[in-house]
Structure 1
Amino acid sequence: MHRLIAVAAVAGALWSMMATADGSDSAGDYLYGTDGSSLTISGTQQQPSTDPGTDSNWSDGGPGDGTGPGEPSGPSQEAIDLAACMDDSGTTRCAPRPNRPAPPASAPSTPGAPTITISDLARFAPASIRATAEPGNVGIVGMPTNFTAAASTQIQDGELFGAPLRVRFAPASYIYTYGDGSSATVTTPGQTWEALGQAQFTPTPTSHVYREPGVYPARVDIRFTAQVDLGGGWIDIPGQLTTSGATQEIRILEARTALVAHTCHENPAGVGC
């Protein structure tokens, strides 16, 4: 009994969707038969025409489109799709297309923030840093000379492309050029021997050994990463900006040892004093 009621309900829905626009039952002749446990539907049905010249229910904005006074409304798109999927026996061969939501309207275009490159920030670059060597910018041939550079994060306010902004530079690496043809790139600015807890003339991450006496023009170039704030928070700028350091003269001396009986303080005229 439950199966008979369910099938009958489906048959009623199909009959309702295939009814003609004027509400009559002339869409086709259908025969019903039952064996007590199922319901069979058979017959023929008339599909609506897709030609606007032959179908009075074609929506063309004029008479017969189902919008005029007293005119019946045309079949729904779901009924048309379902009728196209049925054969002459009334058997459904495919499912009707699901309703698809209309595409969203295009969002209005809004001008974005200006594109800022690392080269645009060159005029905001931090000032040059002068490297120093200890002790007193003097070194000894064959022994480490320790270099340091006082670099830190810097923030500058300014204007770019007609808009105010803040620029933040952070040191990323240090390029030490020692003046004797050698250089080293490190990620630390260097610390004094005392800060490192080391004895004088011991190696450090930024120390260098000169092989010949003389005066050498040493410097440190610093590579900075940059961020800008246009009012909505810090934004990373790709790339790095390098500032060239000021030259610092480093005097490298030769050291000779001598065994003496007295210090230079005790005997200023002694050997090596």
Structure 2
Amino acid sequence: MCIDGVSGGTVTRTCADGTTALDPLFRRPLDASGAPSGPWEQVDNGGCPEDPPVAVVLSAAEFARLPLTPSAPRLQPADGNGLVNADLIVYTDPAQQTLTTTILGSLVTVRATPTSYTWDFGDGTEPLTTTDAGRPYPEHTVTHPYTAAGDYRLTLTTTWTGAYQVDGTGPWLPVLGTATTTSTPQPTRITEVHTVLVANP
């Protein structure tokens, strides 16, 4: 701690009850072998009992590190086998996810809501970004026609917005930032068929 007029040395703060103020507490995640695997994170601010409570804020970076489950792409036909120039129907589940984390010693509940979906169909076309999660046939709203036969790998990237509540009470507060997840690639196989007129089929 630095104080104007003090040239050097350690300065300690004494609390109203005569005890020494606590230093901030930090922690660092470890991997399975016990080696450090991430940055230091502050658990609390230390200080004295009479200090006013510190506001708990879930940052955009902390939100992005939460283990959100990627949205799963669903296809029709369900096996991903389609025809050239025929619409492949795609959709996903637009449900919220609820997670918990701890910030400065407080339990924080987080609601993540999907707000946009980017479909990369793996065929070199521009990815399709939409706020629509899509629907299955016959109410389908998101489709893509492949123009050439081949095997492709489709992925879905979802953008999430968040809100959080501290210790299960008080208002839900917005996270000032977003998080993204990307699905495991979904294989699709597109086949070209030719029609032939025949007599007396």
Q: TM-score band (shorter)?
A: 0.5 to 0.7
Between Structure 1 and Structure 2, which shows a larger proportion of strand residues?
Answer: 2
SS at match of 2:170: coil
| Identity level (%) | 25
Counterpart in the other structure of 1:187: 131
Cα contact 1:220–1:244 (8 A) shared by 2: yes
Correspondence list, 1:93-242, <5 A: 110-136=52-78, 137-182=80-125, 183-194=127-138, 196=139, 205-230=141-166, 231-242=169-180
Distance in 2 between the 1:177 and 1:222 partners? 11
Q: Which structure would you say has the larger RCO, counting Cα contacts within 8 Å and 6 or more residues apart?
A: 2
Runs of 4+ in 1 over 4 A off after TM superposition: none
Distance in 2 between the 1:176 and 1:258 partners? 35
Deviation at 1:132, TM superposition (A): 2.4
Structure 1: gaps (5+ residues): 1-107, 197-203, 263-273
Counterpart in the other structure of 1:73: none
Distance in 2 between the 1:249 and 1:169 partners? 27
For residue 218 of structure 1, what is the amino acid of its counterpart? L
SS at match of 1:232: strand
Counterpart in the other structure of 2:8: none
TM-score computed with the length of structure 1 as normaliser = 0.50
Deviation at 1:128, TM superposition (A): 1.7
For residue 132 of structure 1, what is the amino acid of its counterpart? R
Cα contact 2:64–2:178 (8 A) shared by 1: no
Selected match of 1:252 from 190, 193, 200: 190
For residue 186 of structure 2, what is the amino acid of its counterpart? Q
The structure whose Rg is larger is: 1
> What do you get for the CA RMSD once the two structures are aligned?
1.9
TM-score computed with the length of structure 2 as normaliser = 0.67
Deviation at 1:126, TM superposition (A): 1.9
Between Structure 1 and Structure 2, which shows a larger proportion of helix residues?
Answer: 1
**Aligned pairs, how many?**
147
